[in-house]
Structure 1
Amino acid sequence: MGFFDFVKDAGRKLGIGSDAPTPDDLRAEVTKLGFEAKDFTVDVKDDTVTVSGTAPSQEQREKIVLALGNVHGVAKVEDRLTVSQADAPAAATPAATNAAPESRFYTVKKGDSLSKIAKELYGDPNKYPAIFEANRPMLEDPDKIYPGQMLRIP
């Protein structure tokens, strides 16, 4: 997936008293949210997080990247995650083994709500639950989003 840019001063603070999250803080955040990846590693250099390993699905891959990037003090996430081939259909061609397409991403602006984003992107504000579900468990309430937060858009 490459590099993703985030708003460094947005997001939840992890750890105690520091703006810079540690690799242990970030791994704990991913685990707390229930995401798993084989051979999962997280490295931090300045405000850039590099993540690698094998995610069980494209959705989990994207959610891991967002969980790491939507942390206060993180400006970039370098995604070196791959998607497990174990769940690919037996008759899949090599080009089709990462079956699920990548999602679009949206950075929340001041005044946004999930219904406003759904109206802008889908033409229907009542489609906000699709955005909410695509961002669970990072979002616990559809009314609690903040400027600078990056969301998955299915």
Structure 2
Amino acid sequence: MSLFDFVKSAGEKLLDLNPAKQASDLLVEHVRKFRLGGDDLKVERDGGKVTVSGRAKTQEEREKIVLALGNVAGVEQVQDVIFIDPSNTGPAPTPPSPLDAPAPAALQTAPAAQFYTVQKGDTLSAISKQFYGNANLYNRIFEANRPMLTHPDKIYPGQALRIPPKAD
């Protein structure tokens, strides 16, 4: 369970478009349009804080769900209560408490990616140079953020991006 901060004023203006529809329903639809999350995905909104629960197949999918929600204007925090279940079947188990024993090796996840907030003047090449020491690895960041990113040149200040660990 983690809490992530985002720029409240940046992102897709989703919540203002359909005031008759529940914000939680709009946010679930937003995540689903990227084909992310299991059938039990649940989103609750309390002001600028969003809590998301359910299942994801991988750590990467889990991070993309958090980013999809955090890159919506009006969302300033995302509480992640997503369980990683590679089979993605059956009801989602209750997340373990911090006092529980570590997960069995079969359920442990890949290393988590870092999140980076785009600044004015940033490019994926510049971000790649900062994190990997090589501007030519920008496509690694682009691919790590698909389908939310549709083109490497279409990023904006305040947008949060996944920066996967540097490959050896």
Fold conserved between structures, TM > 0.5: yes
State the partner residue of 1:90: none
State the partner residue of 1:125: 135
Secondary structure of 2:139's counterpart equals helix
1:71-122 C-alpha deviation (Å, 9 max, x unpaired): 00000000000100549xxxxx814522311111111111100000001111
Distance 1:120 1:96 in 2: 33
Match of 1:112 among 91, 105, 122: 122
Secondary structure of 2:41's counterpart equals strand
The CA RMSD measured in Å over matched residues stands at 1.8
Assess if the C-alpha contact under 8 Å between 1:29 and 1:67 holds in 2.
yes
Aligned ranges 1:32-111 → 2 under 5 Å: 32-86=33-87, 94-95=104-105, 97-111=107-121
Distance 1:76 1:95 in 2: 30
Deviation at 1:38, TM superposition (A): 3.9
State the partner residue of 1:5: 5
- Given the alignment of the two structures, is residue 147 of structure 1 paired with residue 157 of structure 2, yes or no? yes
Q: Which runs of 4+ in 1 moved over 6 A?
A: none
**Would you say how many aligned residue pairs link Structure 1 and Structure 2?**
147
Q: Please report the TM-score for the alignment, with normalisation by the length of structure 1.
A: 0.89
Distance 2:142 2:38 in 1: 23
Question: Structure 2: 5+ residue runs without aligned partners?
Answer: 89-102
Q: Percent identity?
A: 54
Distance 1:85 1:37 in 2: 10
State the partner residue of 2:145: 135
Assess if the C-alpha contact under 8 Å between 2:85 and 2:107 holds in 1.
no
